Structure 1
Amino acid sequence: MLKRRSCGVLLHPTSLPGHDGIGTLGDNARKFVDLLSTMGMSYWQVLPLTPPACGNSPYSSLSAFAGNPLLLDLHQLAQEGDLPLEVACSLFPKERVDYGGVSDVKLGLLHQAAATFLAAERSSRTEEFWHFCNTTPWLHDFALFMALKQHYKGKSWQKWPREAALPTAETYEKASLKLGPEIGAQKYLQWQFSRQWQALRSYAASRGVSFIGDIPIFVAYDSADVWRNRDLFLLDGQGKPTAVAGVPPDYFCRTGQLWGNPLYDWEILERQGFNWWVERFRHAFALFDGVRIDHFRGFEAAWQVPANEHTAERGVWGAGPGGRLFEAVRSALGELPIIAEDLGVITPEVEALRDRFGFPGMKILQFAFDSGPANPYLPHNCVKNCVVYTGTHDNDTTLGWYSSQDEHHRNLVRDYVGSNGRDIVADIIRMALMSVADTVVIPFQDILGLPGTARMNLPGTAFGNWEWRFSWDMIHRGLAGEMNSRLERYGRRRGSMS
């Protein structure tokens, strides 16, 4: 994987069309797989599939392991008898995801489905459910965390009573008994997520399409991971962070970026053989055929800011585990199909870590035109072992980006690409496909040639992100054939000789 000329599409499942108010793992996901297959694409790249916490961001999650229940397809639950069919069709399509409205309605229906299933007589389905519960090591901690969070009206775990926030073995067992019905419902949702995702993945494999997932290096403070593994993070005796993650001041932000994620205690993790990270990667590779690691440079060194600071200015670089972590993971799991997100200011040490394990880095074409012919993102400076993107989920669409440039920079783009500017997005995609890079990934918004209103995320803003959805009428009849011909022309069509 990732070692041959190929191409993929970046689209988060929440952006799929459908009647659930949000994209799901149902029929529209299979229809999208069919479209990718007809195009000759090899990969569908997604963002983290975990349940979002702060700001609906998939990069700030309640768990590093659990699936987002909002992605569940209600129609499939109805077909299995857990929901009335007419109830499963009661939501309606919207142009953008209204997370508050969807959560209010859909989570209620999902709990209704869970109650129906858990009250049913013993069957092959219940046997499958209990097998999942007994063989999924992170499941009970997460289910109890979510049950406690509901019990304490959504408050962060650090604001719970001490017996819940810092449980002993005895109080943990008492809470597990007291909150049994909600714990069962949470386990049902994760079981159904696993079933629906693996069914979609099997369908994609039958159509020749592989999945690329995404692992954020850091986890949210208000997560089951930190709540139950406090010894693995830099926390004080009360469970509060002593230092948090961020990015130092730079050209874009004079005070840096204060992310607030707790930092890992790498010494303790290493003493434990990096077991938590091994299991995280094991879980990821059970879901995906390859994974992108967000903020890869943090494994070499991360910007550590004292927890009482209000900006990221007064931080220091704290050493990461470097190659020792990936040696441990490779020893446990074998070769690692990983894409290293190596964007930003990257040191020779980070490059050496990436290259030591042969991980392809990322080249973003929207970053290629601001520093002359030596710019590392220009296609003539690419290497085979990299992944070229027109843009990512954090970028504007390519049309939006091009339109926002001044005339001088638009001229630079047109001259390099050899374009008259009439179809600049298609010309930039052609430039990506022509590159020497083994792998190209194109956001679906760019394949559709959409303007900046289709942007997925604007970093540094709290509202209006992660909401974009497409509709099938955006796709003109000849699109799949056109893309297939382009991929064939540049040796990237799935199944072509390369």
Structure 2
Amino acid sequence: MIPAVLEQRRAGVLLHPTSLPGGVGNGDLGADAHRFVDLLAQTGFSVWQMLPLGPTHRDGSPYAALSLHAGNPMLISLDRLVEWGWLEGDKPDSTVNAITYRLDRLTQAHTTFMQRASESEIQAFETFINAQAHWLEDYALYRALRREYSGQAWFQWPAPLRDREPEALAAVRVRLIDEIAHVYFEQFVFERQWQALRTYAAERNVLLFGDMPIFVAHDSVDVWTQREYFQLDDSGQPAMVAGVPPDYFSAQGQRWGNPLYRWNRMQADGFRWWIARMTTEFRRFDLVRVDHFRGFEACWEIPAADRTAVNGRWVKTPGDALFESLRKHFGSLPLVAEDLGLITPEVLALRDNYELPGMEILQFAFDSGADNPYLPHNHRQASVVYTGTHDNDTTLAWFEDLPAERQLRVVEYLGYPHEPMPWPMIRAALASVSQLAVIPMQDVLALGRGQRMNTPGISDGNWSWRFTWDQLPPDLTERLMRMAKSYGRM
């Protein structure tokens, strides 16, 4: 019940590329990403887990992207473009708007590329466009239209464009041909830089571990172009939206707002929409986490008019038929099920029937008795253990915020460790029988309050955390290597 890539015990680090040092405004796929691969290889850790890579809305959340197939152009390394001769060197002012600066520089790079590119580079560009045309053409048109309408969502556009009337789309493709060509270039560059990073990681025996949200943003090219697969009215608005009921993270539940699927329509097509989506994920990653896995057994449907998730209801979904189709198409499925929250026997049966590892979160382990499934003595080998996830506070901050009696329970369970937090929790994760242990970079750096990546249910202040290389203690590489070796994860 373990994917082939996890047949040996491994350790990894959770870090989104935007959190890397270097780059204007956010980390990217340049030299610091390659240096991070080197750091992992030097420690004996062999997995780099990250969040979804798609282009984001203004809130920066990678879990509500503009496209399921496109890469985020903010992750493109401008320094690499300078090295390739497609961009002149530049040092931006510290007050510059990072997004505007990056987009302007990409426009400059596109102009230079079209003037100076070699014949082989032009051929590679054209090959990419042809190979990815099944999603790229619509995405480029969508991006060009969003720009023309000042960032408005597709369901706010004039009806002929909202409803994709052929004559209206044909006219726009001619009028916005330059903007469309630029989006092609952005995606070509992203793919070239991503595949270079993946090759670099593979040469150092580092696996790349991705993340796939179950749902799709309402304002996305995927919903605009394939409305038949979503529960929308004639104006493109949903009557019901996705979320989760009240839980550990929120007493009001979480109203995500994503449109829900027309599962019967997807099934009638042999789930080809999902097969195309998984093809993109497997092209980029060695292993993929499926976010909100329990939604493949039943979804929490919330009336769209409600502002909270309290009044939702569970509605069954054909997850078994979906995963059977995926297994027939791909063979083995290198997936990890995010099986957190309100998990029923039916969800566990779906996970286990398709031999998908689940998740163990140590921060969840100490709020009940010895039968708590997240305590290390209850872990399953077919699982991935974390100290915490991108949705949790850092382990040090979590521990410091526990009441005294809960802190005592933690240290008693961990054997009254002499190491300061979060190292006893990191050690517990690495010692677990779980086949893969993943530690958030904040915990690797022993960071405390104010360093989390995301606070569920809070819209502001998320997704912007970054580290610097000088935060790494001088003995960190050796310390992690000794631990990886001690617990059989080299």
**Where do 1:187-206 residues align within 5 Å?**
187-206=184-203
Deviation, 1:479, is: 1.0
Q: For residues 354 and 421 of structure 1, do their structure 2 counterparts lie closer, same or farther at Cα, with a shift above 3 Å needed?
A: same
Provide, for residues 144-203 of structure 1, a one-character-per-residue CA deviation record: whole Å limited to 9, x for no partner: 000000000111111111121111222222211111101111110000000000000100
Residue range with higher mean Cα deviation, 113-122 or 160-169 = 113-122
Distance across 2 between alignment mates of 1:174 and 1:122: 32
Per the alignment, residue 125 of structure 1 pairs with 121
Per the alignment, residue 316 of structure 2 pairs with 319
Per the alignment, residue 55 of structure 2 pairs with 51
Deviation, 1:283, is: 0.6
Q: Is the 8 A contact 2:417 2:424 kept in 1?
A: no
Per the alignment, residue 39 of structure 1 pairs with 43
Q: Is the 8 A contact 2:231 2:262 kept in 1?
A: yes
Deviation, 1:121, is: 6.5
Give the partner amino acid of 2:41. Answer: S
Counterpart among 423, 434, 438 of residue 441 in structure 1: 438
**Where do 1:415-434 residues align within 5 Å?**
415-420=412-417, 422-434=419-431
Q: Is the 8 A contact 1:3 1:385 kept in 2?
A: no
Per the alignment, residue 12 of structure 1 pairs with 16
Q: For residues 249 and 443 of structure 1, do their structure 2 counterparts lie closer, same or farther at Cα, with a shift above 3 Å needed?
A: closer
Per the alignment, residue 224 of structure 1 pairs with 221
Distance across 1 between alignment mates of 2:204 and 2:93: 30
Give the partner amino acid of 1:90. Answer: P
Deviation, 1:52, is: 1.1
Q: Is the 8 A contact 1:397 1:452 kept in 2?
A: yes
Distance across 1 between alignment mates of 2:465 and 2:416: 29
Per the alignment, residue 101 of structure 2 pairs with 105
Provide, for residues 95-129 of structure 1, a one-character-per-residue CA deviation record: whole Å limited to 9, x for no partner: xxx9x921121111112212222345662111111
Per the alignment, residue 90 of structure 1 pairs with 92
Distance across 1 between alignment mates of 2:406 and 2:268: 51
Per the alignment, residue 496 of structure 1 pairs with none
Q: Is the 8 A contact 2:247 2:341 kept in 1?
A: no
Distance across 2 between alignment mates of 1:261 and 1:421: 46
SS in 2 for 1:56: coil
**Where do 1:58-457 residues align within 5 Å?**
58-85=62-89, 87=90, 89-90=91-92, 101-120=97-116, 123-136=119-132, 137-250=134-247, 253-420=250-417, 422-457=419-454
Distance across 1 between alignment mates of 2:93 and 2:436: 38
Number of residue pairs matched by the alignment: 485
Q: Is the 8 A contact 1:21 1:91 kept in 2?
A: no
Distance across 2 between alignment mates of 1:377 and 1:101: 43
Deviation, 1:216, is: 0.3
Distance across 2 between alignment mates of 1:256 and 1:35: 38
CA RMSD of aligned residues (A): 1.5
Distance across 1 between alignment mates of 2:321 and 2:344: 18
Q: For residues 481 and 122 of structure 1, do their structure 2 counterparts lie closer, same or farther at Cα, with a shift above 3 Å needed?
A: closer
Distance across 1 between alignment mates of 2:449 and 2:420: 16
Q: Is the 8 A contact 2:214 2:293 kept in 1?
A: yes
Give the partner amino acid of 1:155. Answer: Q
Could you tell me the TM-score, scaled by structure 1's length? 0.95
Q: Is the 8 A contact 1:133 1:187 kept in 2?
A: yes
Give the partner amino acid of 2:28. Answer: T
Give the partner amino acid of 2:32. Answer: N
Q: Is the 8 A contact 1:52 1:60 kept in 2?
A: yes
Q: Is the 8 A contact 1:362 1:389 kept in 2?
A: yes
Deviation, 1:218, is: 0.4
Deviation, 1:296, is: 0.4
Q: Is the 8 A contact 1:14 1:71 kept in 2?
A: yes
Q: Is the 8 A contact 1:361 1:385 kept in 2?
A: yes
Per the alignment, residue 480 of structure 1 pairs with 477
Provide, for residues 261-302 of structure 1, a one-character-per-residue CA deviation record: whole Å limited to 9, x for no partner: 000100000011100100100110000001001100001000
Q: Is the 8 A contact 1:54 1:60 kept in 2?
A: no
Per the alignment, residue 26 of structure 1 pairs with 30
Q: For residues 492 and 252 of structure 1, do their structure 2 counterparts lie closer, same or farther at Cα, with a shift above 3 Å needed?
A: closer
Distance across 2 between alignment mates of 1:415 and 1:388: 20
Deviation, 1:240, is: 1.2
SS in 2 for 1:453: coil
Distance across 2 between alignment mates of 1:295 and 1:2: 21
Q: Is the 8 A contact 2:86 2:116 kept in 1?
A: no
Distance across 2 between alignment mates of 1:420 and 1:42: 27
Give the partner amino acid of 1:474. Answer: Q
Give the partner amino acid of 1:463. Answer: D
Residue range with higher mean Cα deviation, 164-173 or 139-148 = 164-173
Per the alignment, residue 490 of structure 1 pairs with 487
Distance across 2 between alignment mates of 1:420 and 1:41: 23
SS in 2 for 1:163: helix
Could you tell me the TM-score, scaled by structure 2's length? 0.96
Distance across 1 between alignment mates of 2:380 and 2:440: 21
SS in 1 for 2:37: helix
Q: Is the 8 A contact 2:71 2:190 kept in 1?
A: yes
Deviation, 1:75, is: 1.2
Q: Is the 8 A contact 2:161 2:169 kept in 1?
A: yes
Structure 1, unaligned stretches of length 5 or more?
93-97, 494-498
Give the partner amino acid of 1:485. Answer: R
Q: Is the 8 A contact 1:456 1:466 kept in 2?
A: yes
Distance across 1 between alignment mates of 2:338 and 2:250: 20
Distance across 1 between alignment mates of 2:33 and 2:162: 38
Distance across 2 between alignment mates of 1:20 and 1:239: 36
Deviation, 1:452, is: 2.1
Deviation, 1:252, is: 5.5
Provide, for residues 50-82 of structure 1, a one-character-per-residue CA deviation record: whole Å limited to 9, x for no partner: 111151111111111110111111011112222
